[in-house]
Structure 1
Amino acid sequence: MSEWDWGRPEELSARMDAFLVEGATCDKLEEVASPPYDRAALDGLGVTGVEFAAWKSRHPAALASDVVPLRAPDGVAAPDRVYRVDGEALFAALDIRRPLPFADGSVDWVYAEHLVEHVSLSDAIGWLTEVRRILAPGGVLRLTTPDLATYVDGYRQGSPFFPRHRSRLRAAGLGPPMPARRAFMFNQLFYLYGHRWLYDFDEMRYALSAAGFAPDTVERRSFRDGVRPDVADLDRVLRNDESLYVEVVKRDA
């Protein structure tokens, strides 16, 4: 593969995909459960909620999940099965474009950071519909995603956001310095990370409403502020200046 070129989004996407696969490793995978999972099965595992787009969750009662399966020297995590990773956290390889292997009302919370933008709008609504199904009445869904409005403001008003974003990527060691051109900074949000659909608050509320959540229960939140502090604390500092934070509570009916 040629040297890093910010102007070649397809090449960079391939690099990032390879980086993810290489990073999905652990020392030991122990299968502890197989689908389907009802409330009793999850209670037995000590699981109250699911964190998507994570190989390991910081929440002590979480099932972490990602479409990229974890690999150990003696095998790879099979889809939908629950594994204990290195004797500690729980993980399942889940594809959000497919039905989730959980019973209705089986979890109290779901968290996903910078996930929903990586699938089409129709796939996102399908996944959100599944999330609503598996949430118990009163259950909380917390989503974070790149905020399109933040990028628009950065492009139109020249806010400090773009320089901060370039510095953050540079500190993370992702390639050479990112170009400072405003048009480039706006375009990279669409084309460099495998993004399929971008959201502002109104678009996210539309998707959640189409999935069956009551529109008046959809609330905009801020970094690490939410109905459940234990779930909101999963927000990562690295992305707090570009993220849209949204929560919705499933009503009883």
Structure 2
Amino acid sequence: MTSEVTASSNAPAPSTTGIRVNLGCGIVALPGWENYDKSPVMLLRRVPFLRSLLVKLKILTPGHIQTWPDNVQRRDLTKPLPQADGTVEAIYSSHMLEHIYLQEARELVKEAYRVMAPGGILRLALPDGELWARQLLEGQGGEHFNERINAYPVARPKGRRQITFMLGGSAHKWQPTRDLVKAMVEDAGFTNFRELAYQEGDLPQVTEVEVRPESMFFEAVRPAA
């Protein structure tokens, strides 16, 4: 199922360079992909004693310290990507862009365009801020709305809760909407911008890499030179 932002046109044939990149992969790190994340809890994966202690002290929950695959590289994605120009056939990112500042997200999408080969596919899965806004207008409550957009807590975290907040994942720094995402992707140079359904699209291995159905899903292509 597509929305009004769906564009249909003749996309170039997909690249066959073979390099696939997952930006903000979490623990979903497919073999053969270059998987990047910067979660603070990644630092604990080689210190099991400290990890267990933080759970025992109730600073972290077991959900915070899932086992991170060895093929995840810790990387600051506000910095340039390591791939050379035009070498990547596919880039996927799920629920990551909203955790960096909007301008940083725009720069990262431009970096994705730089490293993408002609015909390469960018796919973004993002929280649906428009859906939550509609629910707010339908009277589902302002506090519920703030919880859904992952804004900062109602009260300033203190003590152990402050450490949990720091290690447990950052708040959203902007809220994705269809117009913002479309402009971001097209300003970077991508074409054939489409909104698609969960696990449907042209991204290689999309049914394996995509695990969060509660999202908006977009694909775009780097055009042929």
User: How does the TM-score come out when normalised to structure 2?
Assistant: 0.67
> For the residues of structure 2 that align with 1:125 and 1:207, how far apart are their CA atoms?
6
Match among 180, 184, 191 for residue 151 of structure 2? 191
Aligned structure 1 segments of 4 or more residues deviating by more than 6 angstroms: none
Structure 2 SS opposite 1:72: coil
Matched, 1:63 2:34: yes
CA change 1:190–1:58 in 2 (3 A) is closer
Q: Which residue of 2 aligns with 1:9?
A: none
Residue type of the alignment partner of 2:172: H
1:52-100 per-position Cα deviation (integer Å, ceiling 9, x unaligned): 21244353321211023554259xxxxxxxxxxx9x8522222111111
Is 1:103 paired with 2:122?
A: no
Instruction: Tell me the residue number matched to 1:240.
Output: 213
Q: Indicate yes or no: 2:21 matched with 1:50.
A: yes
Work out the CA distance in 1 between the residues paired with 2:145 and 2:26.
29
Contact 1:56–1:64 (8 Å) recurs in 2: no
Contact 1:59 1:230 in 2 (8 A): no
| Structure 2 residue runs without a partner (length 5+) | 1-16, 49-66, 153-169
Match of residue 19 from structure 1: none
Distance in 2 (CA, whole Å) between partners of 1:232 and 1:117 is: 23
How far is 1:205 from its partner? 0.4
Query: What do you get for the CA RMSD once the two structures are aligned?
Result: 2.4
1:144 is matched with which residue?
A: 125
| Aligned equivalent of 2:200 | 225
Decide whether the 8 Å contact of 2:93 with 2:123 is kept in 1.
yes
**Partner SS, residue 123 of structure 2:** strand
The residue correspondences of 1:124-163 to structure 2 (distance < 5 A) are: 124-157=105-138
Q: For the structure 1 residues 229 and 213, does the alpha-carbon distance in structure 2 shift closer, same or farther, using more than 3 Å as the test?
A: closer
Give the number of the structure with larger relative contact order, counting CA–CA contacts within 8 Å between residues 6 or more apart: 2
| Cα distance in 2, alignment partners of residues 228 and 130 from structure 1 | 18
Q: Alignment length, in residue pairs?
A: 169
The code of the aligned residue for 1:54 comes to C
Q: Which secondary structure state, in structure 1, belongs to the residue aligned with residue 117 of structure 2?
A: strand
Shift of 1:51: 0.9
The residue that corresponds to 1:117 in the other structure is 98
Please give the TM-score of this superposition, normalised by the length of structure 1. 0.60
Offset at residue 232 of structure 1 (A): 4.6
